[in-house]
Amino acid sequence: MTEIVIHEVGLRDGLQMEQQVVSTEQKLRWIQSLLESGVDIIQLGSFVHPLKVPQMADTDELFKRVPASAEASGKRPVLSALVLNDRGLDRGLAVDVEMFCMGVAASETHSRKNTGRSVVEATEQIICMAQRALGAGKRLQVSVQSAFGCGYEGPVPESRVMGIVRRFLDGGIRAISLADTAGHAVPDRVEALFGAILDAGDDLECACHFHDTYGLALANTYAALKAGVKYFEASVAGLGGCPFTARAGGNLCTEDLVHYLQQTGARRDIDLDRLIALAKDVGAFFGREMEGSVHKVGPMGPADAVPQ
């Protein structure tokens, strides 16, 4: 568990569902808190059309300003971005994004709503984009979205997910994420599906992205850990949800994830108090109670302080 990597996606997946547009300066203040918290990767945004997702209109600007801020503070996590197409990839390369995230939905309905393409068309496009990013020397993570079920179509066959994964592997991609876009995952299936992927090659790195639509995100995280997953995407205050699924549940909550890990003795280098303060600040900004538990009730003491 010492190799667990926390990928904070609140500024992208978290904010894309919010109608109240967050200013660049406010985002920069939140990013500074994340830099100081010690998370490993921060997803600053996505390179999408600003009229379709106004919340992401300043992604280029953030990538121009945040690296200097990170260097000045002495905190230097990896900065990632989501791209959906070649135009987005071009924009990301122009501002020197370090890590690109891109994905394909395993659901035909989700794929067409999200990208306007079929699963097969989207898969071939993403493989070409991934190879471009790798050729430019960038870190890369490619995901299968709606991997555990679709809000429109219901269950997604494991064979379809594995078919997409095999195409990724054939395309030279070694970092693969499964995204539970609709929140339909259950722990047994999480462990089995990640186990099947990790059995496909010794050099693979797996990531997971869980939504808490049915309250199972943290349980599914535990199952992914058992299977050998290393990268965990989460969103401060549980912000988020996909606008292209039928029922958008929030993301796995970052401070709840870190609290759980620290109870096991892992990732005590991350500043949980700072994440809790940030979650409260996000709630005050939006004027509502946020998802998650730890920022409401406070953390337990460290597990090693409990009498044996």
Whether 279 contacts 237, CB under 8 Å: yes
Tens digit of pLDDT per residue, the chain (308 long)? 448 999 999 999 999 889 899 999 999 999 999 999 999 999 999 999 999 899 999 999 999 999 877 776 676 899 999 999 999 999 999 999 999 999 999 988 777 877 778 888 989 999 999 999 999 999 999 999 999 998 788 899 999 999 999 999 999 999 999 999 889 999 999 999 999 999 998 899 999 999 998 999 999 999 999 999 999 999 999 998 655 444 555 899 999 999 999 999 999 999 999 999 999 999 999 999 998 899 999 999 876 655 55
* Cα–Cα distance list, 204 to 62, 193, 231, 248 (Å): 30, 14, 12, 30
Nearest-angstrom CA–CA distance, 79 and 232: 15
- pTM to 2 decimals? 0.93
**Residue 61, pLDDT score:** 97
Other beta carbons less than 10 A from residue 287's beta carbon? 7
Domain count, the chain: 1
The Cα diameter of the chain in Å comes to 57
Which CATH number do you get for residue 86?
Answer: 3.20.20.70
The one-letter amino acid code at 257 reads L
Whether 176 contacts 197, CB under 8 Å: yes
**Residues near 29 by beta carbon (within 8 Å), at least 6 away in sequence:** none
Nearest-angstrom CA–CA distance, 151 and 30: 31
* Cα–Cα distance list, 50 to 21, 46, 297 (Å): 12, 10, 37
Report residue 124 as tokens.
């071939």
Cα three-residue angle 282-284-289, rounded to 5 degrees: 85
Q: Which domain holds residue 138?
A: 5-305
DSSP 150: B
**Residue 1, pLDDT score:** 46
Residues annotated as catalytic are: 242
Place of tokens 């337990």: 300
